[in-house]
Structure 1
């Protein structure tokens, strides 16, 4: 048994844990990050699943990573390179397609081809959404105040929220109130008539939630994804060089350069508590490390219900955490290909060719009803027979991801419910893989013969591999009762916890999921504010 004294121990080497560690080390603190796997990065990792084929196993696109983190930690110097995704193409069931390109006029003309009315509405919709996203963006960097508290800190926080609200126009306030409560279907049906346009936009409102596009609250999730920003380009999505592991790798490199110690294969068994205070951790291998503070970058249930004996928390706090909704609804299918799928909507001729759609995303979301039907299956514990798919071809953007002339394809799949009837096993994984392939086959008939290898990841696998309870990609659904000062629980949304010296900074904290890093950064800043005492 060994014992080491640190200023801060961080449980979990996902991107939030690494960001927090880097910020604390930047302030001169002695920090260790403990990661249970053989690789740092959490759900943002790149691994070689089949020889020569590299996959971003779980998360796969970058857009929400905070620009201030990129600047503060000098991530480009540590290898961060984000390659833009220039398009989203939605193949339609009639053989046509809807394309959204990085050229605004081209996109507008494309929508006009399907619906002149929608082309007219599109610019105004984009303006309203961009204004709403920019309006709520300052909240991302706010420490959520407790509205029931009369402490100076919380009153000042409420004042900040009030000032922020006072700066909004009447129109913006109404727009945000509607977005916070509406379903994405209701929102989009007010604006558009063309099914494929509504379906593709509605898909952003269900990602990571166990809800359908007609469920209230999904318009907020749509807005959360609307806040994408790369290099200050608002609403931009990209793919990192070397995949999501390229993002985590750059943060890891920055953290190490600042003096952070990162231990792999270091699974935490328990937080050590003495005199009502977190003073270190015990590892599964018997080692004990001591520190002035402990921060968890694991999901809320592991953080509060697994690592710490429940006697150290108030009963109502434990109950609130037990009720925190973490049901995973998304799967991932990673495919190694001998050739690109040839989509009949935008075909190419001959081997070695590609069409414009392979350089961006391909979305199987032909209508709101299509996605709602996929949700109907999941509601009753079934895999969606015709799932919503968001596909990208990383090897087209970054050729190092596959052997020469070969390709990798990343499919985000919804719905694959965590609580599957009969439970997840190899037969059910095969069923999910088959649902994905047969769905793609409707639009790209050559897909089956092009498959060299396929990895199917269910929410159960996300839980087992990445250590995320329930396999929920956001560590907890982005629902109205689980955001801002309610995330993860009322009174404890400021990255502190009822246990002194124990902090929480992960996707299950404010401001939520995605490869954003904000929770890790804000938690580190609060730890420093408390003086590491």
Structure 2
């Protein structure tokens, strides 16, 4: 049993025991010796796969290694009385069809829609055209956006609406691709069956429809896919606070800078979602992100699926290049000819599969996949709402509109983001890291005691391994967290005194706790060489693996990371197709 440590206001460090569930299964079922399908990992994608497969008539078992389901979409009470969305922290990308098919509202999912969306306070006011400017706030109201941006640039205020409209058109054109398996270009045409050829042609037609729908936005789409985000933003805007705020969406969760070619796609990826029919909106889930996973699990279990926690898988069994079951860490053997892995490609194929099952060339290619992560997530319990100098609270603990959105700190200038990136490349971290701060308790009262709040800090850039090969010690982790807190204090004096406890997760911690290889929240870099028909690699782009009956259903498969659910659904569809 691993202890979880947190630091109190006085600086004392306490340990909370992690108490594991003793129930036979999440829904009280006993583990059987065989199932029609086994899902390795109870993250949201694995649970989506289970729900679809169970509905189709298969007897499905989900095996989660931790004490709680959800993977990275999880709620945990690390500091007593405070519920943290410990890894993922906002919802938008979950596909509308999954909402509908799995009846997630019926099964308990409630989302608080955020507006405004983004708030960038300035550490010191700027004087623009004789006027003092202290912050930038962006939301769904176009007129308010123009008013806010005009503080910095009237030209940008006019261009911003055009920029948003362009992104919306591109997202609308590409949206269907997120719900369909990619083209499989790895199998020669002559070797494909007639059914496979027909499927290829249908997918090619759908892809062509999306491409043709782009119309005059084709060049803009190509630029977003290939150019640095900084180049794209420079063409549109002149004010740094606006460019830097938008640039954060181009690098969030990725070990890239705004100057990295292809970083524009990450920006596009983060505007692909919707909440309650509102395109591009983001929301907080009542009860934290674990409530997303729980709603999906509720649906799967209601349909008859068995979900188990504390069941780490040690080995995937194969016979004659076919999946035959799994062996748990305690030696328990469970038989099945269909296995879906919600783990990363590295864990699935390099750790769980016995050696020599996959061809040597494929093993080599799997080892080359990029899992670099810049992220350190810090979850903080506070006894009062932060009070930002740029926009002071109306009363001592009043929740203001800007508390409800993503708050960007150290983001007044894109150069600061680039400098933080280069520090990480040298094995260290910046004194002014990029910080995305959210306060979900500003909308959701279930997360903290009255008047108290949970503050979630998504920070970068931090390397997996420090300079000279050093690992992250407890002292180093707290040193970095103190730097982050000092930065917040510069914007919101009194923040440090309000801290009740904190939970620090560096890239190695994210890997250890959640099984995220390299700490990468997307199960692998969202770069052009690891997208669509190359995700995770061309020979496995359609969720199948060379081992018959073994499928990849996590974010390492198309269309990638985020709490989207699409890889889980598409993998389940592929299983059902192969069983016909």
TM-score by length of 2: 0.90
In 2: Cα distance, 1:163 partner to 1:402 partner: 48
Pick from 112, 118, 130 the counterpart of residue 83 of structure 1: 112
Query: Match for residue 516 of structure 2?
Result: 468
Q: Secondary structure at the match of 1:176?
A: helix
Query: Match for residue 390 of structure 1?
Result: 436
In 2: Cα distance, 1:429 partner to 1:219 partner: 31
1:330 lines up with 2:368 in the alignment: no
Q: Which sits farther off after the overlay, 6-15 or 428-437? A: 428-437
Deviations 1:314-345 (A, max 9, x none): 12211111000011211111111111111000
Q: 1:17 to 1:167 in 2, by over 3 A?
A: same
Query: Match for residue 457 of structure 1?
Result: 505
In 2: Cα distance, 1:408 partner to 1:510 partner: 33
Deviation, 1:231, is: 2.1
Deviations 1:167-216 (A, max 9, x none): 331x2221111110011111101000111100010000111211111111
TM-score by length of 1: 0.97
RMSD across aligned C-alpha pairs, in angstroms? 1.3
In 2: Cα distance, 1:348 partner to 1:509 partner: 44
Query: Match for residue 167 of structure 1?
Result: 213
Q: 1:399 to 1:163 in 2, by over 3 A?
A: closer
Query: Match for residue 73 of structure 2?
Result: 44
Pick from 51, 58, 67 the counterpart of residue 29 of structure 1: 58
Q: Secondary structure at the match of 2:310?
A: coil
In 1: Cα distance, 2:473 partner to 2:209 partner: 52
Q: Secondary structure at the match of 1:248?
A: helix
Where structure 2 has 5 or more consecutive residues not aligned to the other structure, the ranges are 1-30, 126-133
1:363 lines up with 2:408 in the alignment: yes
Deviation, 1:381, is: 1.1
Which aligned pairs between 1:29-428 and structure 2 lie closer than 5 A? Answer: 29-87=58-116, 88-95=118-125, 96-148=134-186, 149-150=188-189, 151=192, 152=197, 153-169=199-215, 171-364=216-409, 365-421=411-467, 422-428=470-476
Deviation, 1:350, is: 4.1
Query: Match for residue 501 of structure 1?
Result: 549
Kept in 1: contact 2:115–2:401 (CA 8 A)? no
In 2: Cα distance, 1:215 partner to 1:165 partner: 24
Kept in 2: contact 1:317–1:489 (CA 8 A)? no
In 2: Cα distance, 1:219 partner to 1:388 partner: 18
Aligned pair count reads: 530
In 2: Cα distance, 1:490 partner to 1:25 partner: 29
Deviation, 1:396, is: 1.1
Where structure 1 has 5 or more consecutive residues not aligned to the other structure, the ranges are none
In 1: Cα distance, 2:42 partner to 2:70 partner: 6
In 1: Cα distance, 2:32 partner to 2:449 partner: 45
Deviations 1:104-145 (A, max 9, x none): 211111111221000111111111111111111111112111
Query: Match for residue 487 of structure 2?
Result: 439
